[in-house]
């Protein structure tokens, strides 16, 4: 027989659980509504290509040698369609991808989220588009995919261009804000709350931090579709990719000296997101034929802050590869 005290405790526990469950249901409902609104506001700008049962979102424009663009963490291909893709389309067939699990591209199966697996997946999508001997350009986390692409298909890749790219393991852990969305607490509590309640102010603050010390370009916040990155699934997959990145880089880095193609590296001296000395300077030391362009005073978004320098690096890579 249950004691009176235990009965009261169980009653309070049941009531608290029901209240929490009701609160979680309300948060989940609001998150779902905001996710649907973001998807309606920022639909695919290109086409969806199926690879092994998974859809890959790709935007294609222009004509000329094939040029692949791979975006960074917490982003999507709209980062490139804001300005750079249009400029490059005058000289190249530009193929911009949403990375797996971000934007409008389906996630890969659990356990296959590293840069090599992502690069292989995007190479298969590129093959479906008859992409041949491309110049591959990657920004930030996309730099790791670009290097993986070159390592996996050295004879079929014309050149690599790394923009503020991650290339080597770094000292210390990632910040809690980067990894928390991949944890159980993040999936059950944090991600739903962010998806349900994150306001424009938090989006603007994040963008200002990423672009620092340059300002966020006018119209960028509206164009890039940050609401897509605030979906619960996108938050989780982005964090999982970041949390698991370091060991993949440790495995890739010893192979960089064997990259045979031209490699251009563009990195700002004021980049406080991906350190110049930790990544770009080590990469140029590892790859004999690599060329490093240091952009004085430029932060983590060189393709927005110094697009002419980025385009010049791409042209040099194309010329070195015999495509111009």
Every domain of the chain and the residues it spans: 47-320
Whether the pLDDT of residue 14 is over 80: the answer is no
- Which residues, listed in sequence order, are joined to residue 268 by a DSSP beta bridge? 295
Question: Given this structure, which CATH class describes domain 47-320?
Answer: alpha beta
Angle at 258 between CA 254 and CA 264, to 5 degrees: 100
At residue 259 the predicted structure's pLDDT band, cuts being 50, 70 and 90, is very high
pLDDT digits (tens, 9 = 90+) for 135-166: 999 999 999 999 999 999 999 999 999 999 99
Hey, is 120 helix, strand or coil?
helix
In the chain, the percentage of residues whose pLDDT exceeds 90 is 88
Predicted local confidence at residue 21, as pLDDT: 56
**Contacts (Cβ under 8 Å, ≥6 apart) of 136:** 68, 70, 146, 149, 150, 157, 159, 160, 161
For residue 289, give both structure tokens.
């034929």
pTM for the predicted model, two decimal places: 0.92
pLDDT digits (tens, 9 = 90+) for 191-216: 999 999 998 899 999 999 999 999 99
Which helix (H) or strand (E) element contains residue 55?
strand 54-61
Predicted local confidence at residue 197, as pLDDT: 93
At residue 324 the predicted structure's pLDDT band, cuts being 50, 70 and 90, is confident
Buried b (16+ CB within 10 A) or exposed e, 120-138: bbbbebbeebebebbbbbb
Helical ranges in the chain per DSSP H? 4-41, 78-81, 84-88, 115-128, 141-152, 176-179, 184-185, 191-197, 200-211, 220-224, 226-229, 232-243, 245-252, 281-286, 302-305, 307-320
Summary mean pLDDT of the chain? 93
Hey, is 97 helix, strand or coil?
strand
Hey, is 9 helix, strand or coil?
helix
Angle at 96 between CA 306 and CA 165, to 5 degrees: 50
Which whole number is the average pLDDT over 117-144? 98
């Amino acid at each position: 027989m249950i004691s009176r005290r235990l009965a009261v405790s169980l009653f309070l526990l049941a009531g608290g659980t029901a209240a929490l469950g009701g609160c979680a249901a309300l948060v989940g409902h609001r998150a779902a509504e905001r996710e649907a609104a973001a998807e309606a506001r920022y639909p695919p700008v290109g086409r969806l290509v199926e690879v092994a049962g998974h859809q890959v979102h790709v935007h294609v424009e222009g004509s000329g040698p094939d040029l692949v663009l791979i975006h960074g963490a917490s982003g999507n291909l709209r980062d490139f369609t804001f300005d750079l893709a249009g400029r490059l389309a005058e000289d190249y067939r530009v193929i911009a991808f949403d990375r797996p699990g971000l934007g409008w591209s389906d996630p890969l199966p659990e356990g296959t989220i590293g840069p090599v697996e992502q690069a292989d997946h995007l190479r298969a999508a590129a093959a479906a588009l008859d992409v041949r001997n491309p110049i591959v350009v990657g920004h930030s986390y996309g730099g790791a995919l670009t290097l993986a692409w070159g390592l996996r298909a050295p004879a079929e890749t014309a050149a690599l261009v790394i923009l503020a790219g991650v290339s080597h393991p770094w000292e210390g852990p990632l910040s809690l804000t980067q990894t928390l969305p991949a944890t159980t607490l993040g999936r059950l509590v944090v991600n739903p709350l962010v998806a349900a309640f994150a306001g424009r102010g938090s989006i603007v603050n994040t963008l200002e931090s990423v672009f620092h010390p340059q300002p966020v370009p006018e119209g960028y916040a509206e164009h890039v579709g940050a609401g897509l990155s605030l979906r619960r699934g996108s938050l989780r997959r982005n964090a999982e990719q970041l949390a698991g990145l370091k060991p993949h880089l440790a495995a890739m880095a010893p192979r960089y000296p064997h990259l045979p193609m031209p490699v251009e590296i563009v990195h700002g001296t004021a980049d406080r997101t991906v350190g110049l000395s930790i990544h770009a300077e080590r990469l140029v030391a590892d790859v004999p034929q690599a060329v490093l362009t240091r952009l004085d005073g430029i932060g983590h978004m060189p393709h927005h802050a110094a697009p002419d320098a980025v385009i010049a690096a791409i042209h040099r890579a194309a010329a070195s590869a015999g495509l111009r």
